Copies of this chain bind each other. A is one copy, B any other.
């Protein structure tokens, strides 16, 4: 059963949405017993006319009876709702969890894929796909998108699919930083996204750990300057979320810095910043690119991370409070809710 639903989700994403909508309507009527169109419209948050079209379909299917006093489910309508409950849980079951996470961290939107990224590579891929969908749906014409690095971001990029070319979009790395493996660098990811979508991109080649002097010098370079300005004007920011200690090691921070991080209670890392349990910034990576104020100014900030081991880190970054959208998996979501 699981299988056919998965297939349908891939093949008929539009119809699945419609299905949810129609089930929602039926379910409300089921609960209300008998209810009028206008009342119902308010309750399921649709305009009256659009609801009406849906009701016509349901009536055609014989699921709905109409009387002057209002609408009621027919026998087969009631039966359908009852039979559907477990199926709906299966298909849309994570929406409750999504809503819980959304309100817990005050986010605009939360997408949760089923499973645990720590346990299976397949889930990691799904997470990437979900992330790419969110990014695609957030994109408007002319948008500049700043992306961070990391393996999750790389998977997101590799799963990105677009119906048409996006010639007037830009992808840029959110920050410099060449320390990591090339595949996972923000530069690489920005360029892959651009290639997959027909968009344009810019790279930012600024080494980590620059002295203040060298930093100032390199920032004088017109082409570096130009890229940095573009990064700072990004309307959309997409980033992964990491464990602070792991990230520090991967970035080869000095031992004393690492100790300092531990002392300050650094727990999570995102877009070059290190956060403690309460979401406070305790350290920042020394490189050019997106600053905190740019993140605050960005239109849409999307965080992507999954796996139960990252739950706490995700909670920490979400408490920081500048993300709009979180894409995660079931295990991480449950774990994150424990650390609200």
Known: A12-B22, A57-B14, A129-B62. A84 touches B162 (CB 8 A): no
Known: A62-B159, A161-B62, A163-B59. A23 touches B11 (CB 8 A): yes
A5's nearest neighbour on chain B, judged by CB, is B4
- CB-CB contacts below 8 Å: A25-69 with B: 26, 56-57, 59-63
List the B side residues contacting A161 at CB < 8 Å.
59-62
A163 to B15, CA, bound (A): 20
Q: Mark A1-13, 1 if CB is under 8 A from B, else 0.
A: 1011101101111
A158's nearest neighbour on chain B, judged by CB, is B62
- CB-CB contacts below 8 Å: A269-313 with B: none
List the B side residues contacting A23 at CB < 8 Å.
11
Report the interface size for chain A: residues with CB under 8 A from the other chain: 36
Whether a CB of chain B sits under 8 angstroms from the CB of A83 is: yes
What is the distance, in angstroms, from A157's C-beta to the closest C-beta of chain B? 12
What is the distance, in angstroms, from A80's C-beta to the closest C-beta of chain B? 6
Please tell me if the beta carbons of A84 and B7 are within 8 angstroms of each other in the complex. yes
What is the distance, in angstroms, from A22's C-beta to the closest C-beta of chain B? 5
Known: A22-B12, A62-B129, A159-B62. A7 touches B56 (CB 8 A): no
5 smallest beta-carbon distances between A and B, as pairs = A62-B161, A56-B163, A60-B163, A11-B22, A10-B61
Residues of chain A whose beta carbon lies under 8 Å from any beta carbon of chain B: 1, 3-5, 7-8, 10-15, 18-19, 22-23, 26, 56-57, 59-63, 76, 80, 83-84, 87, 129, 136, 159, 161-164
